[in-house]
A and B are shown apart, each in its own frame.
Chain A
Amino acid sequence: MNELLTGNEAIARGAYEYGVKVAAAYPGTPSTEVLENFARYPGIYAEWAPNEKVALEVGIGASMAGARTMVAMKHVGLNVAADPLFTLAYTGVNGGLVLVCADDPGMHSSQNEQDNRYYARFAGVPLLEPGDSREARDMVGLALELSEEFDLPVMLRITTRVAHSQSFVELKEPLPGRALRPYVKDEKKYLMVPAFARLRREVLEDRLTGLKEYTQKTPVNCIEWRDRSTGIITSGVIYQYVREVLPEASVLKLGMTNPLPETLIREFAGGVEKLIVVEELGAFIEEQVRAMGLAVSGSEIIPKTGELDPGIIAQKFIEAGILPAGDQATAGRTGREVPEVPGRPPVMCPGCPHRGLFHVLRSLKLTVTGDIGCYTLGGLPPLSAMDSAVCMGASIGAAHGISKANPEMGARTVAVIGDSTFLHSGLTGILNLVYNKGTGTVIILDNRTTAMTGHQHHPGTGSTLMGEPAPAINLEALMRALGVRRVKTVDPLNLAETTAAVQEETAAGEPSVIIAHRPCVLLTRMAGSAILVKPERCKGCKLCVRLGCPAISLRDGIASVDPITCTGCSLCVQVCKEGALVPEEDENV
């Protein structure tokens, strides 16, 4: 049965078909749907871990216990999980372990773009790169087999266009139920104290030597001989673009890119006149091919920043004289230009509780160190109430650092972090604030979900990935246990209450935490009655418009509220000084 699956759905399917028993992840675009889909299959266990490091550690244990295991994350998640990964390469596995890592070239939904193929080379683990959904499914199976054969974790690296593009996959029946591989206590393999780690360091080199043999003959690395004047080495989804742009060129398609198949690359290089590597982000393959002493080009033709597409590749090949200009068949068309049009940036939803807090922070003219989530949008106009965003959890340490460098500035600074992000990486920041006698204020935007990635559960929501009830962490009690004496919970849609709390806590000479508590509007589907406008009272001052709510606009200089998208959150009622915006129940006031 042919099914149209996204790459993420196909990876989940592959994990099911090839007997993965345990899977763990932290949500992150573009990887989130791998676990969401896997969790729906029967006879498996899947969980959201609070962060990627914990997810990989859960994977380590599940593999030790003999289960086939999958761990999934976005590219920046692997920065968090890098610590266990590098030593896992020493211990190796028992049950096969596949680490799915989704890069985001072009930063569709990320704070940076990084080429995580370098992690595989750095840690010394095998690396597979599927180019469509069928390959993604198949390579989960290959990764698990290689993992068990070579006693190593195997990295399956996808990109946004593999993760979120749909293509056909012929579904297979799952493998017959597998018994757990027996666990045998073996300190020299699993207990990485220096004496044993030195032994495993050598073992890792042996494994890589074996893999270098394997990678020459694996069917996922293959030469497609066509016209030999140009030979392209490529991997992942870029193979698909190359086939569109240069349908006649010979191609060495690499499905396994660490370690690289040197003999095969030399054979290919020897058979073509001009050798070019086409790859996205880093010159990962190209640099290694050049180090083999082969004449190769690539990064001087193809950009190393941003996402590639067939049009860019065609254009760059035309500029380099590899493709003739104006050749319709080469797709090297740039398209017509159009007049400049207003952008449509992502915005906080109507009724979003974050809006209230950012309005307060802007009004108080505070410096705001931010974090990763929907609320990062609070840094964009018209709210413009955030000064920095770096990585998960960074807001708290950054605010503390500001106050140590410049206490005056510190007294006018707050850290803002979401509930899921806080549980991912915020606890140690709070510990540091308390331990090192900081005076900072941390505001947790507690909307009871991981909103940006599509509303996944976390340790504060009271439910697991598999839909079972779970203990929900009590944030106030947690703060007190960490040593914070000033903890306050406010409703961010109540501007007076929130303003008073922020003023009071930033003035306090000790660490304080404000929990701005209000569930995500998309979760509650809050559909209160829309706010009404009394046009005769509106003076066109735009205070309401400056909330950046998509339901509010000015029509002929007068405020207007869209009755369909307005949720009745009443922030605009609170900012209006003329009484021109009124809740329905007060219509006659």
Chain B
Amino acid sequence: MFKPVDILMVGVGGQGTILASRVLAGAAREAGYDIKVSEIHGMAQRGGSVVTQVRLGEKVYSPLITRGGADIILAFEKLEALRHLPFLKPGGTVIINDQEISPVPVLAGTAVYPAGIIDYIRSVAKNVVVVKALDMALKCGSAKAANIVLLGILAKKLPIKKELWEQALAGRVRAGLLEVNQAAFASGYEIG
């Protein structure tokens, strides 16, 4: 029995982390894995940091990942990647969307958005993938598919066959948007 793969998906409310985690859960189910997904609803959703914890394996007990326990951090925003870095396991992978969303203290001028986040993360983590998911999604037809570009990158790193991902995507995206999302997934998968 292998130890569960622990994935932390982090971003800002409204970035589509929930749809991405739903597709991931669907693909994991089709692959026959046990899976647990944990999210926080309510007040945190109002423009705050959002975190989805996903654990998949043959048998999963805890729905929560420990600090220093995440195999993969999938960050939809740079600052959130940095904030959640303490969760990364030694030797783990960080996938970063090179996008900056200023929190209100920065907008209000009471705090500064840190410079050089990606360089810092590269200096402490070995496996770092940086992408401009918004640009890639735009090329596929819609900036809103950036979440699926990121999911495509993650997909390549997990022991789940590509067909199962595609199936799961088709089952969870409205027909009219499927083509854009399929293209977004493929473009992410290619570089993953």
Q: Tell me if B36 is interfacial: C-beta within 8 Å of chain A.
A: yes
Which residues on A sit within 8 Å (CB–CB) of B44?
108-109, 346
Listed by A's residue number, 28 A-B pairs whose Cβ atoms lie within 8 Å are A2-B29, A4-B26, A32-B41, A109-B41, A165-B37, A166-B37, A166-B38, A241-B62, A243-B61, A331-B69, A333-B68, A333-B89, A334-B86, A335-B67, A335-B68, A339-B82, A339-B114, A342-B114, A344-B12, A344-B48, A345-B105, A346-B45, A346-B47, A381-B108, A452-B43, A546-B108, A548-B104, A553-B102
Q: Are B38 and A108 in contact (CB under 8 A)?
A: no
How would residues 6 to 42 of chain B score, 1 for a CB under 8 Å from any chain A CB and 0 otherwise? 0000001100000000000110010000111111111
Give the CA-CA distance A338 to B67 in the complex, in Å. 12
Q: Tell me whether chain A's interface is mostly helix, strand or loop, or mixed.
A: loop
In chain A between 1 and 55, which residues have their CB closer than 8 angstroms to a CB of chain B?
2, 4, 29-30, 32-33
In chain B between 46 and 80, which residues have their CB closer than 8 angstroms to a CB of chain A?
46-49, 60-64, 66-69, 79-80
Give the CA-CA distance A300 to B103 in the complex, in Å. 39
In chain A between 327 and 341, which residues have their CB closer than 8 angstroms to a CB of chain B?
331, 333-339, 341
Which B positions have Cβ atoms within 8 angstroms of A?
Answer: 12-13, 25-26, 29, 34-49, 60-64, 66-69, 79-80, 82-83, 85-89, 102-114, 120, 124
Nearest B residue to A312 by beta-carbon distance? Answer: B66
5 A-B pairs besides A165-B39, A344-B80, A542-B109 with CB distance below 8 A are: A338-B82, A338-B83, A338-B85, A342-B79, A550-B104
> Which of B12, B41, B44 counts the most chain A CB atoms within 10 A?
B41
**In the complex where A310-B64, A342-B112 touch, is A552 in contact with B107 (Cβ < 8 A)?**
yes
Q: Are A164 and B86 in contact (CB under 8 A)?
A: no
Q: Tell me whether chain B's interface is mostly helix, strand or loop, or mixed.
A: mixed
Q: Tell me if A420 is interfacial: C-beta within 8 Å of chain B.
A: no
Which residues on A sit within 8 Å (CB–CB) of B112?
342
- Separation in Å of the A20 CB from the closest CB of chain B? 23
- Separation in Å of the A330 CB from the closest CB of chain B? 10
How would residues 419 to 463 of chain A score, 1 for a CB under 8 Å from any chain B CB and 0 otherwise? 000000000000000000000000000000000111000000000
Which A positions have Cβ atoms within 8 angstroms of B?
Answer: 2, 4, 29-30, 32-33, 108-109, 132, 160-161, 164-168, 237, 239-241, 243-244, 309-311, 314, 331, 333-339, 341-349, 374, 377, 381-382, 452-454, 542, 545-546, 548, 550, 552-554
- Separation in Å of the A313 CB from the closest CB of chain B? 9
> Which of A4, A30, A344, A542 counts the most chain B CB atoms within 10 A?
A344
Q: Are B47 and A553 in contact (CB under 8 A)?
A: no
Which residues on B sit within 8 Å (CB–CB) of A109?
40-44
Give the CA-CA distance A162 to B140 in the complex, in Å. 38
Which residues on A sit within 8 Å (CB–CB) of B39?
164-165
